Chains A and B, each alone.
Chain A
């Protein structure tokens, strides 16, 4: 029997992000981190780190980050 796991992905628009980091605080798998590069507005935007953590943590597409994002900078995909 295989356990079906939900797989998701988010896309953060770094131009819209104002670096409030509310998404970082709500991600249950701690997959969002703060970027080291400034964006156009002069903030350090949040970035999605699933691909570079090297660990077995996967985004489930729960959309909690997008729900709390004040700037609608996050789109969530599931599939």
Chain B
């Protein structure tokens, strides 16, 4: 008897993704939807998409979704969670969103120990607007605003937002993973599931930073973009559990 071992998760709509070929966003959408399905929290989950490539995430998730102004995902999620404390609230943000314009909201939400989950997608650039330098752009990385590479003296160094958040007292669980290989994708799903469990147990702020390929703006093939994460990006942003106060 043949059985289905892999299909579209229940909480993803039958809508084709608008993302570029090889984009990590749609993999991460799927992992979030799979985690929601496995934890059986689909009927009480509320998502908050960002401004950026993932702004249309509400078209893809079949759970309740809001929409935050640029960078304010953690603030909007805080409001939803405090008004409806029995719901599971997650905010989904890119690196330009969370690490540039939304830094203040994010740090204070973490410091207050808001009981929300943040999915932080780090692709080292402003993807939607055409690949400008983001705070997370690596040194020597070419972008449309750093032709010739990001220069430490001129543009500063990449920001380690997850490490910064880990020193706040309210953050409970912070892990950095990637979606560039089957093994890393499986680890990412475990991390997302754990982050939701932290929230379900009412422990406090949880965040998963996910290194994601952006083949279009990195100007390389999807396979090379996945390789770049191992060779370059993970050297600057090492994959590890940054903070875990659950045990």
Chain B residue nearest to A41 in the complex (CB): B16
Contacting residue for A43 out of B1, B7, B21, B182, CB 8 A: B21
Asked whether A31 is an interface residue with its Cβ less than 8 Å from the other chain, the reply is no
Complex interface residues of chain A between 24 and 78 (CB less than 8 A to chain B): 25-26, 43, 61, 63-64, 66-72, 74-78
Asked whether B185 is an interface residue with its Cβ less than 8 Å from the other chain, the reply is yes
B27 close to A9 (CB less than 8 A): no
Chain B residue nearest to A16 in the complex (CB): B16
B222 close to A76 (CB less than 8 A): no
B6 close to A76 (CB less than 8 A): yes
Asked whether B4 is an interface residue with its Cβ less than 8 Å from the other chain, the reply is yes
B16 close to A19 (CB less than 8 A): no
Name the B residues within 8 Å of A22 (CB-CB): 22, 222-223, 226
Interchain nearest-CB distance for B11 vs A (Å):
12
> Please, how many residues of chain B have a CB less than 8 angstroms from a CB on the other chain?
30
B223 close to A21 (CB less than 8 A): yes
Complex alpha-carbon distance, A16 and B15, angstroms: 9
Known contacts A16-B16, A26-B182, A68-B181; decide if A75 and B4 are in contact (CB<8 Å).
Answer: yes
Give 20 A-B pairs besides A22-B22, A72-B30, A75-B8 with Cβ atoms closer than 8 angstroms. Answer: A15-B16, A18-B21, A20-B22, A21-B221, A21-B223, A26-B182, A43-B21, A63-B5, A67-B182, A68-B181, A70-B19, A70-B24, A70-B25, A70-B26, A71-B19, A72-B26, A75-B6, A76-B7, A77-B2, A79-B2
17 contacting pairs across A/B (C-beta < 8 A): A9-B2, A63-B5, A63-B6, A66-B6, A67-B185, A68-B27, A68-B181, A70-B19, A70-B21, A70-B23, A71-B26, A72-B26, A76-B4, A76-B6, A76-B7, A78-B3, A79-B1
